[in-house]
Amino acid sequence: MKKIHRFIGDFDLSDNKIVIIDRALVKQFFKVLKFNSGEVVALCDGKNNEALCEINYLDAKKIVLIVKSRLVVNIESKINVSLFCAVLKRENFEMVVQKATEVGVMEIIPIITDRTIKQKLKIERLKLIAKEAAEQSGRGVVPVIRDITKFDKAIKDAKSLNANIFFNTQVAKSENLNIKTNKNVGIWIGPEGGWDDKEVQAIIRANFAQNSLGKTILRAETAAIIASYLMCNQ
């Protein structure tokens, strides 16, 4: 069976005929993927609505598709997980965005901590990585990628969530992570050098829970991916 390509975008799926003139998407259809009339693709509006569409016409300027069927994507986690992750090396943070998207996080917030070395990221590229990962993994929404935020401000912003789990290698015992009654949960992953003592004290004052991901010391990107999976699959 031929693979059906999925595309998430600002599509109006209510009409039976969809016309696409977005240059980047038209180029992808026409020149990169080399689609032909009659082929079927899946379009998702980023709000869990999806339609199987047949390409009726395409050229270098526009695509015309006919909707064949519609469905509601129902695979999202029941917990809205916000991943607060210290800025890492470019390729490592890009991996975090890709994999955290695949496992189901709803929001990714890069944070600057006391021991953060890299302090810049290409946010637009991260948004593209998240979009492609959402399309590939069959999700109906694309996670929000926030701008880089300083640790203190992130703490304040996160207080609006129902719960926050601060992963710390210095915590000797893991707590019960069963948080099914909480709708919006923040998970916190520090830099390679770990959290500073002042940061640990700040989360204690904020009444954030502390937890461990096991006895071994994980790389930050590994910890971010594992923590995201555990939270999204409660």
Contact 79, 179 (CB under 8 A): yes
My answer on whether 127 and 56 are in the same domain is no
Q: Among 25, 40, 72, give the residue marking a domain's end.
A: 72
Alpha carbon distance 170, 72 (integer Å)? 43
Q: What angle do CA 142, 182, 150 make, to 5 degrees?
A: 60
111 DSSP β-pair partners = 86, 149
Q: Is the pTM of this model over 0.85?
A: yes
Within-domain flag for 166 = yes
CA dihedral 140, 144, 145, 148 (to 10 degrees): -160
Task: Give per-residue pLDDT as tens, 167-217.
Answer: 988 876 655 555 666 689 999 999 988 999 999 999 999 999 999 888 888
**Where does the pLDDT of residue 1 fall: very low under 50, low under 70, confident under 90, or very high at 90 and above?**
low
178 domain-assigned: yes
List pLDDT tens digits, range 52-80. Answer: 999 999 999 999 999 999 999 999 999 99
> 224 is in which domain, residue-wise?
80-232
Q: Please, what's the b/e burial string for 13-35 (b: 16 or more CB within 10 A of its CB; e: otherwise)? A: beeeebebeeeeebebbbeeeeb
Burial of 154 (0-12, 13-18, 19+ CB in 10 A): buried
Tally of structural domains, the chain: 2
pLDDT of residue 215: 83
Q: What is the pLDDT of residues 93-133, one digit of tens each?
A: 999 999 999 999 999 999 999 999 888 999 999 999 999 99
Q: What is the pLDDT of residue 169?
A: 84
